[in-house]
Structure 1
């Protein structure tokens, strides 16, 4: 099986897993995977649970649609992540409930919107940037991500949902899941005195594990 065929098969499997477990509802959410000659991307208006490998969109290195169904309207977002994060091989954008809830709260810190509550959010997700609201599919979102110059591997789009990158599709999915569970904890614990990991503890995790 070729690299591209393997990537298509894995996209179908992992996207269905996300859908079946409620991380994506309806036709919300989109996923991309880097290829040597371009990228694969979930099509527009298709549920993540209903992907067909041969109909996944393929774009060339310049973002031109070359085969498969029409790609998601968030194509600019995916291109920007893959262009500015050379280590990233995949991007997962969801509208998952708790991450979206956190993105709607007015006092969420835009530069550190998911503080180090647990070791695994540090290890799998890292620092998370909150980006201002623009309508879905607006090319401005791609430019806002480019302006970050690769400093963040995960973002929350205000009033919209999370974007998470990974060195593999499996690691991007795992990070998106970890982010969602951490956001659930943060919203559930809101208003209570929290014990965050210290900067020394975060540094130890980063030095030992990096971002897994």
Structure 2
């Protein structure tokens, strides 16, 4: 796919997420790998109103080479692209239910998205909860690098989800699946409910592969 087409696709998916309430105002940012670097949504831009020509571009060393100033969350994007093999895109949202879950004090930091549906296992997998740091703090990137590419998604405490995928479509779909699962968790967490068993999870991973 040409870079021009990737830019158009980035605008389309970003607009779709914005219009369905997965991001509001200027919240959220998305990056996509291209042959000679990374495209990333500009800082303080709205996912609903992107201009493909003004999308930021970084070279392979992370140097800003064209477009508007990149998102201040560029550190976490680069960390996933550089440590998670096969990462083609990264989606960071402030989606309501995943962000609400990231604010709770009793979630499991090693797996904060309960495996209550097969699709969250298949499309997202294990999700780590990372400690709070201010938005734009380079420490975000350091924390993701420390995971050494072992997970495709994290929740930033009191902030929101970050999801990596093999391409833009896959990353967006996984981010949507994470948000919908977080919604289900918030709905049932005070009620008796079932999780998938270790055997059921293993069957999914053997059949469909790891995220």
**Structure 1 residues 12 and 211, CA, compared in 2 at 3 Å: closer, same or farther?**
farther
TM-score of the superposed pair, with normalisation by structure 1: 0.98
Q: Residue 49 of structure 1 aligns to a residue in which SS? A: coil
Taking the aligned partners of 2:59 and 2:183, their CA distance within structure 1 comes to 37
Tell me by how many angstroms 1:36 deviates: 1.6
Taking the aligned partners of 1:181 and 1:103, their CA distance within structure 2 comes to 14
Tell me by how many angstroms 1:44 deviates: 0.5
Tell me by how many angstroms 1:86 deviates: 2.0
Q: Residue 174 of structure 2 aligns to a residue in which SS? A: helix
Tell me by how many angstroms 1:190 deviates: 1.5
Taking the aligned partners of 1:6 and 1:39, their CA distance within structure 2 comes to 14
Q: Deviations over 1:162-199 (max 9, x none)?
A: 00010110010000000000000101111211110011
Does residue 41 of the first structure (1) align with residue 33 of the second (2)?
Answer: no
Q: Which residue of 1 aligns with 2:183?
A: 184
Taking the aligned partners of 1:116 and 1:189, their CA distance within structure 2 comes to 13
Q: Which residue of 2 aligns with 1:169?
A: 168
Does residue 106 of the first structure (1) align with residue 115 of the second (2)?
Answer: no
Counterparts of 1:7-86 in structure 2 under 5 Å? 7-86=6-85
Q: Which residue of 1 aligns with 2:195?
A: 196
Tell me by how many angstroms 1:211 deviates: 4.3
Q: Deviations over 1:58-94 (max 9, x none)?
A: 0000000000000000000100010001211000000
Tell me by how many angstroms 1:35 deviates: 1.1
Q: Residue 177 of structure 2 aligns to a residue in which SS? A: helix
Q: Which residue of 2 aligns with 1:155?
A: 154
Gaps of 5+ in 1: none
Q: Residue 33 of structure 1 aligns to a residue in which SS? A: strand
Taking the aligned partners of 1:93 and 1:194, their CA distance within structure 2 comes to 29
Taking the aligned partners of 1:22 and 1:208, their CA distance within structure 2 comes to 33
Number of residue-to-residue matches in the alignment: 211
Taking the aligned partners of 2:145 and 2:186, their CA distance within structure 1 comes to 29
Superposition misfits of 4+ residues, deviation over 4 angstroms = none
Q: CA RMSD in A?
A: 0.8
Taking the aligned partners of 1:130 and 1:210, their CA distance within structure 2 comes to 23
Q: Which residue of 1 aligns with 2:4?
A: 5
